[in-house]
C-alpha cells in the first residue's frame, strides 16, 4: 500500500517559475501547497500538518537555514528538503546537520526529485512505525487470542464480526481481568483499519497532569521540561484505532476535550494552535457503571452516548465456567512453548476444583495462576496438590462480611503476584494492571510487607 499519495508537501520558493514547476511535477501524486516567502510558509506550518517541505535556502524575508531549524524544533517528524541554485558543500553539510533530509539543485531533474521525496516519506513512515512498535512492545502481554466457547462469548464474536466494517465507537464494559483489551484488539484486527496502528491509552496509569500531552502531544517549550516536540497517541493512531482503557479515570475537563476530538476529528498539540486532522476509530473500556457515574456528575453523558454506539459487555469468568478448562490449557500451552517444554496438562481433579472457584480476578487471575504453578511444578500433570497457593476460595470466605472477604482475597492475591516476580513492584503492577503508586498504597493498607 502506497501511503505517500496522501502526503502533503509545502513548496517554499520566491521564484514563481520554480514553485509552478514543482507543482506541475507533484500535484497528481501529492497534496501540494505553495509559499513565496518565509512568513507565508510559517503561517501554513502553524495551521496545517505538513509531511515534506521543499525549502529554498535564499528567501527575500528569511534565511532558509533558520526556517529549517524552526521546523525541526516544532516537529522533528516533518522532513525538509533544501533547494539551492548553487552546489556548495559547506551549505549542504550545514543543512544536513540541522536536520535536512537532502538537498536539490536548480534546475532540478524530475526523477531525482520524486526519488528523494519517496525516500523521505519512507523514512518518515518508518520512524512513525518504530514509535508505534515500541509502544506495542511495552504493552504486549501473554494473550494471543480470545479463548471461549460459552454462548455469551460466541455472541461477542458474532457482534465483533457485525461491527467490523463500521467506524462507530465501541464501549467495552466488564470486570477487571475479563479481557477488555483483547476484545478491543479483535475489533481492530477484524476491521479495515487492521493494517494501521492500534494505540493503547491507559487512562488509569497516566497522571492527569500529563494526560493532555499524552493524548495530543506537545511542542517544544509548551511547558517546563518540554525540550522537544512529541507526537501524541491520537496522532500515532491516525487511520487506525485508539483504545481508551479505564476511560472512567479521565477527569471531566479531559472528557470534554476528548469529546471534541470525537465530534470534530481534529485537535491541537499542547502549546500549539495548529489544527491536526485525525481519522481514528475510538474503542473505550471501563469496569465501572458509567450511567451511575453520570448521575454522580463524574462522567459526561454526552461522551458516554458518543462512545456507546456499539456496547459490548464481557461476562465475568464465573458466568462462563465452561471456558475455565479451555483457558487453563491455553495458558499452559503458551507457557510450555515460551519455555521450550513438552506439552503438559491439569488433572481432572484440579480442573474440577478450578472450575468451581469464582475467579474474582477473572481471566487475568487464571493466567497468573497458570504461570505460577507451571513454573513451580515440574510434573507433566499438574494436580490438586499443586494448587495450594489458591487457598482462599468460596468455602473460606463465605462467612466473612463482603469488605473483609475482598480484602482477604486481595491481600493474598497481591502477595502471590509479588512473590512470583521477586517483589518487583514494576512487574507486579504490570501483571495486576494498576499503577505502581496504587500497588504501594494497597500494600500499605493491607499490611503487605516486602
Whether the per-residue pLDDT at 390 is higher than 70: the answer is: no
Q: Which three cell numbers stand for residue 246?
A: 479505564
pTM for this model (two decimals)? 0.62
Give the single-character DSSP code of 63: B
Name the band, by pLDDT with cuts 50, 70 and 90, for residue 159. very high
Q: How far apart are CA 95 and CA 98, in angstroms?
A: 5
Q: Where are the beta strands (DSSP E) in 60-189?
A: 79-84, 102-105, 170-173
Measure the N-to-C terminal CA separation of the chain; round to a whole number of Å. Answer: 53
Name the band, by pLDDT with cuts 50, 70 and 90, for residue 389. low
Question: What percentage of the chain has pLDDT greater than the value 90?
Answer: 45
> Are the C-beta atoms of residues 267 and 260 closer than 8 Å to each other?
yes
Nearest CA-CA partner of 54 in 35, 76, 73:
35
Q: How much is the average pLDDT of 243-249?
A: 96
Name the band, by pLDDT with cuts 50, 70 and 90, for residue 222. confident
Angle in degrees, 0-180, between the axes of helices 425-432 and 402-420, rounded to the nearest 10? 130
Task: Give the CA distances from residue 399 to residues 88, 316, 413, in Å, rounded to whole numbers and listed in that order.
Answer: 85, 22, 19
Name the band, by pLDDT with cuts 50, 70 and 90, for residue 309. very high
Residues 6+ apart with CB under 8 A from 421: 427, 428, 431
Spell out the alpha helix ranges (H) of 297-361.
301-307, 324-339, 348-356
Domains of the chain: 3-136 (3.40.50.2300), 148-315 (3.40.50.300), 319-446 (1.10.8.60)
Name, of 224-233, 239-248, 388-397, the range with top average pLDDT. Answer: 239-248
The predicted-structure confidence for 321-363, as pLDDT tens digits, reads as follows 999 998 999 899 888 888 877 778 898 888 988 998 889 889 9
Whether the per-residue pLDDT at 440 is higher than 60: the answer is: yes
Q: Where are the beta strands (DSSP E) in 97-156?
A: 102-105
Q: So what's the pLDDT on residue 420?
A: 80
Name the band, by pLDDT with cuts 50, 70 and 90, for residue 171. very high
Q: So what's the pLDDT on residue 140?
A: 42
The predicted-structure confidence for 66-75, as pLDDT tens digits, reads as follows 999 989 888 8
Q: So what's the pLDDT on residue 388?
A: 60
Nearest CA-CA partner of 72 in 44, 97, 43:
97
Count of positions (residues) in the chain: 450
Q: So what's the pLDDT on residue 197?
A: 93
Calculate the average pLDDT of the chain: 86
Nearest CA-CA partner of 25 in 58, 1, 54:
54
Amino acid at each position: 500500500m502506497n501511503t505517500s499519495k496522501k502526503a502533503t508537501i509545502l513548496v517554499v520558493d520566491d521564484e514563481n517559475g520554480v514553485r509552478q514547476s514543482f507543482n506541475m511535477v507533484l500535484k497528481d501524486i501529492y497534496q501540494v501547497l505553495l509559499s513565496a516567502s518565509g512568513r507565508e510558509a510559517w503561517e501554513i506550518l502553524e495551521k496545517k500538518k505538513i509531511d515534506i517541505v521543499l525549502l529554498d535556502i535564499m528567501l527575500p524575508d528569511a534565511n532558509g537555514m533558520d526556517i529549517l531549524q524552526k521546523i525541526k524544533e516544532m516537529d522533528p517528524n516533518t522532513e525538509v528538503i533544501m533547494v539551492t541554485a548553487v552546489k556548495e558543500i559547506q551549505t549542504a553539510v550545514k543543512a544536513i546537520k540541522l536536520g535536512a533530509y537532502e538537498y536539490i539543485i536548480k534546475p532540478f531533474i524530475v526523477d531525482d526529485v520524486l526519488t528523494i521525496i519517496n525516500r523521505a516519506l519512507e523514512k518518515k513512515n518508518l520512524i512513525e512505525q518504530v514509535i508505534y512498535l515500541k509502544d506495542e512492545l511495552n504493552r504486549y502481554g501473554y494473550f494471543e487470542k480470545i479463548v471461549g466457547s460459552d454462548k455469551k462469548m460466541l455472541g461477542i464474536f458474532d457482534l465483533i464480526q457485525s461491527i467490523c466494517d463500521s467506524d462507530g465507537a465501541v464501549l467495552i464494559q466488564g470486570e477487571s481481568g475479563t479481557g477488555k483489551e483483547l476484545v478491543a484488539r479483535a475489533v481492530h484486527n477484524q476491521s479495515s483499519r487492521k493494517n494501521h496502528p492500534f494505540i493503547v491509552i491507559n487512562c488509569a496509569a497516566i497522571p492527569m497532569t500529563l494526560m493532555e500531552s499524552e493524548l495530543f502531544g506537545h511542542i517544544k517549550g509548551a511547558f517546563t521540561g518540554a525540550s522537544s516536540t512529541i507526537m501524541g497517541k491520537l496522532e500515532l493512531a491516525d487511520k487506525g484505532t485508539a483504545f481508551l482503557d479505564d476511560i472512567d479515570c479521565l477527569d471531566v475537563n479531559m472528557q470534554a476535550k476528548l469529546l471534541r476530538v470525537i465530534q470534530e476529528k481534529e485537535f491541537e498539540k499542547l502549546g500549539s494552535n495548529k489544527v491536526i486532522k485525525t481519522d481514528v476509530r475510538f474503542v473505550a473500556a471501563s469496569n465501572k457503571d458509567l450511567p451511575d457515574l453520570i448521575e454522580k456528575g463524574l462522567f459526561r453523558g454526552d461522551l458516554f452516548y458518543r462512545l456507546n454506539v456499539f456496547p459490548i459487555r464481557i461476562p465475568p469468568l464465573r458466568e462462563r465456567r465452561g471456558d475455565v478448562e479451555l483457558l487453563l490449557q491455553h495458558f499452559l500451552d503458551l507457557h510450555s512453548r515460551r519455555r521450550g517444554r513438552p506439552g503438559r496438562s491439569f488433572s481432572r481433579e484440579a480442573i474440577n476444583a478450578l472450575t468451581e472457584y469464582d475467579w474474582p480476578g477473572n481471566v487475568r487471575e487464571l493466567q497468573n495462576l497458570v504461570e505460577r504453578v507451571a513454573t513451580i511444578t515440574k510434573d507433566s500433570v499438574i494436580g490438586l496438590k499443586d494448587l495450594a497457593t489458591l487457598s482462599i476460595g468460596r468455602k473460606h470466605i463465605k462467612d466473612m462480611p463482603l469488605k473483609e472477604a475482598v480484602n482477604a482475597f486481595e491481600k493474598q492475591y497481591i502477595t502471590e503476584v509479588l512473590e512470583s516476580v521477586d517483589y518487583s513492584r514494576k512487574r507486579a503492577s504490570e501483571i495486576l494492571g494498576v499503577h505502581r503508586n496504587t500497588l504501594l498504597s494497597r500494600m500499605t493498607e493491607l499490611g503487605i510487607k516486602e
